C-alpha cells in the first residue's frame, strides 16, 4: 500500500461510517415527523430522501454484519412477493417489456400467498413485506385483500410497502388500500411535465396520474407514509428540480437508474455519468459500507409461481434457488447454494456469479478499487 492509499482510505471509511450512523440516528429522533404517515409508529420518522436511506441501512446492514461475523442463519428483512406478473407500462429504464411481459399472464393463488404470509408473521427479523415485484401491483384486483391478510396477522413492527406507477391508484383504491393497512406507499413519477413523462413512462397517461396524485394529496394520510419517487436518467434529469418544488407535500426520494443486473437495454444511453474521480470515491465508500451485496443477505423475492430467484434486481432470473410451494422461506434463504453465493461475495468473487458480473450496483458501488485506482482517487487533490 502506498502512502497516499494509507492516507485516503481511512478518511473515506470514516466518512462512510459517519454518514450511515447519522442516517440511522435520524430515525430515532423523537421530534422528527414525516409530512405523511405521522401517526404510524412504523413509518412516522421516515422523512425525505435521507429517511428512505436510513430505513434502507437499518434493514440491510444487520443481516450482513451478522453473517460476516457468525455465518449464522438469516431470514430476509425485506420480502417482495409478485402476486401478478403484469404491468401496464413500458418505462424506458425497465426491462419489463422484453422479460416478464413475454410470459403468460399469471396470478398467485391464494393458498400459496397465505403460506408465505403465515411464515413471515412468525419471523421477527422480517420488517418490510412488499407484495409487489417486477410488476404493477395494483393490477392485482385482490391487492387490498392481500394487504389486509398480512396486516391482520403481522407483528407490530412489520410493515407493508407498495410501489406503484400511480396509474391504477384511483381515489376508491387509495381509500381501500389505506383501510387495508398499507404503511408505506411509493409512487414512481419520474417526470415533471407531460412531454418527459411520455418519453420515460411509456404507455401511461400523465393526466390520469396527476389527477390521482391530486386526489391522494387530499386524503387523510396520517397512517400512510407516501413517497414520490424519481428515478433519474438522461431523459428526465432536467425535470428533477421542478418535480421537487411541485410535490413538497409528500416525501420525495431520488436515485439514479441502474442496469438491473445487465438486463436494461441501451443502459449506456440512460446512465448519469460522473467524473472518474467521483466514481472511484463512490466505490471506495460503497465497498466499505457494503463489502457484500444486500440483495442476497437482507432481501428476497418470490415470483407468482413460488420460485425464488437469487436476486430481485436480476430481471433475467438467471438462477432460481428454490420454490416456496414445497420449501420454507427460511430453508431456501439458508440453503447451501445461497450460502455459497454469500461466501463468494465475502471473498470478493462477485464476478463468478453470472448476474453480479453484469450488475451496475456491483460495478458502480461495491467493486473494490484496484491499487492503481486507489492512487488515482487523490489526483484531483494533489494535481
338 binds ligand SF4 (CB under 6 A): no
Number of alpha carbons in the 13 Å side-chain half-sphere of residue 77: 17
Give the sign of the dihedral formed by CA 268, CA 272, CA 276, CA 280: negative
180 binds ligand SF4 (CB under 6 A): no
Select the residue interacting with ligand SF4 from 311, 329, 332, 377 (CB under 6 A): 311
* Integer Cα distance of 366 and 290 in angstroms: 6
Q: What is the DSSP letter of 107?
A: B
Select the residue interacting with ligand SF4 from 167, 361, 369, 374 (CB under 6 A): 361
356 binds ligand SF4 (CB under 6 A): yes
Select the residue interacting with ligand SF4 from 295, 297, 315, 333 (CB under 6 A): 295
- 113 or 290: whose CB is closer to ligand SF4? 290
* Integer Cα distance of 282 and 336 in angstroms: 32
Select the residue interacting with ligand SF4 from 355, 369, 375, 377 (CB under 6 A): 355
64 binds ligand SF4 (CB under 6 A): no
CA geometry: angle 4, 6, 7, nearest 5 deg: 65
The helix (run of H) or strand (run of E) holding residue 83 is none
Site for ligand SF4 in 267-286 (CB under 6 A): none
Backbone dihedral region for residue 130 (phi beyond 0: left; psi -120 to 50: alpha; all else: beta): beta
- 285 or 296: whose CB is closer to ligand SF4? 296
What are φ and ψ of residue 228, in 5° steps? -100, 130
- 20 or 296: whose CB is closer to ligand SF4? 296
SS3 160: strand
CA geometry: angle 142, 185, 19, nearest 5 deg: 145
144 binds ligand SF4 (CB under 6 A): no
Stretch that binds ligand SF4, among 98-106, 208-216, 217-225, 351-359 (CB under 6 A): 351-359
362 binds ligand SF4 (CB under 6 A): yes
Residues 6+ apart with CB under 8 A from 15: 285
Stretch that binds ligand SF4, among 53-61, 156-164, 177-185, 308-316 (CB under 6 A): 308-316
- Write down the least CB distance from residue 129 to ligand SF4, Å: 20
Select the residue interacting with ligand SF4 from 136, 233, 304, 314 (CB under 6 A): 314
Kind of pairing, strands 251-256 and 225-232?
A: parallel
Stretch that binds ligand SF4, among 10-18, 191-199, 227-235, 292-300 (CB under 6 A): 292-300
- Write down the least CB distance from residue 313 to ligand SF4, Å: 4
313 binds ligand SF4 (CB under 6 A): yes
SS3 133: coil
- 96 or 113: whose CB is closer to ligand SF4? 96
Number of alpha carbons in the 13 Å side-chain half-sphere of residue 12: 22
- Rule CB under 6 A: which residues touch ligand SF4? 261, 293, 295-296, 311, 313-314, 355-356, 359, 361-362
Amino acid at each position: 500500500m502506498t502512502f497516499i492509499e494509507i492516507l485516503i482510505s481511512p478518511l473515506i471509511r470514516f466518512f462512510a461510517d459517519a454518514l450511515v450512523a447519522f442516517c440511522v440516528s435520524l430515525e430515532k429522533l423523537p421530534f422528527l415527523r414525516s409530512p405523511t404517515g405521522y401517526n404510524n409508529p412504523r413509518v412516522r420518522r421516515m422523512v425525505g430522501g435521507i429517511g428512505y436511506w436510513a430505513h434502507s441501512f437499518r434493514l440491510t446492514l444487520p443481516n450482513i454484519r451478522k453473517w460476516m461475523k457468525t455465518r449464522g442463519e438469516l431470514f430476509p428483512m425485506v420480502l417482495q412477493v409478485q402476486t401478478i406478473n403484469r404491468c401496464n407500462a413500458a418505462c424506458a429504464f425497465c426491462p419489463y417489456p422484453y422479460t416478464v411481459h413475454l410470459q403468460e399472464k399469471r396470478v398467485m393463488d391464494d393458498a400459496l400467498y397465505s403460506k408465505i404470509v403465515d411464515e413471515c408473521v412468525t419471523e421477527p427479523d422480517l420488517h418490510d413485506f412488499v407484495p409487489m415485484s417486477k410488476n404493477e401491483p395494483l393490477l392485482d384486483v385482490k391487492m387490498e385483500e392481500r394487504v389486509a391478510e398480512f396486516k391482520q396477522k403481522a407483528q407490530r413492527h412489520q410493515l407493508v410497502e407498495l410501489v406503484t406507477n400511480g396509474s391504477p391508484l384511483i381515489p376508491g383504491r387509495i381509500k381501500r388500500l389505506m383501510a387495508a393497512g398499507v404503511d408505506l406507499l411509493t409512487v414512481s413519477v419520474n417526470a415533471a411535465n407531460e412531454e418527459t413523462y411520455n418519453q420515460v413512462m411509456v404507455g401511461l397517461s400523465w393526466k390520469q396520474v396527476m389527477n390521482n396524485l391530486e386526489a391522494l394529496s387530499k386524503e387523510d394520510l396520517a397512517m400512510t407514509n407516501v413517497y414520490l419517487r424519481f428515478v433519474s436518467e438522461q431523459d428526465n434529469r432536467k425535470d428533477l428540480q421542478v418535480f421537487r418544488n411541485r410535490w413538497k407535500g409528500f416525501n420525495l426520494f431520488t436515485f439514479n437508474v441502474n442496469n438491473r443486473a445487465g438486463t436494461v437495454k441501451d443502459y449506456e444511453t440512460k446512465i448519469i455519468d460522473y467524473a472518474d474521480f467521483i466514481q472511484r470515491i463512490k466505490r471506495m465508500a460503497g465497498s466499505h459500507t457494503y463489502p457484500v451485496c444486500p440483495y442476497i443477505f437482507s432481501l428476497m423475492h418470490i415470483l407468482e409461481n413460488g420460485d425464488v430467484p437469487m436476486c430481485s434486481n436480476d430481471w433475467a432470473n438467471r438462477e432460481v434457488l428454490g420454490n416456496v410451494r414445497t420449501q420454507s422461506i427460511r430453508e431456501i434463504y439458508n440453503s447451501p447454494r445461497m450460502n455459497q453465493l454469500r461466501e463468494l461475495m465475502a471473498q470478493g468473487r462477485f464476478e463468478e456469479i453470472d448476474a453480479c458480473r453484469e450488475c451496475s450496483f456491483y460495478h458502480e458501488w461495491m467493486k473494490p478499487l484496484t491499487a492503481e485506482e486507489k492512487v488515482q482517487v487523490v489526483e484531483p487533490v494533489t494535481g
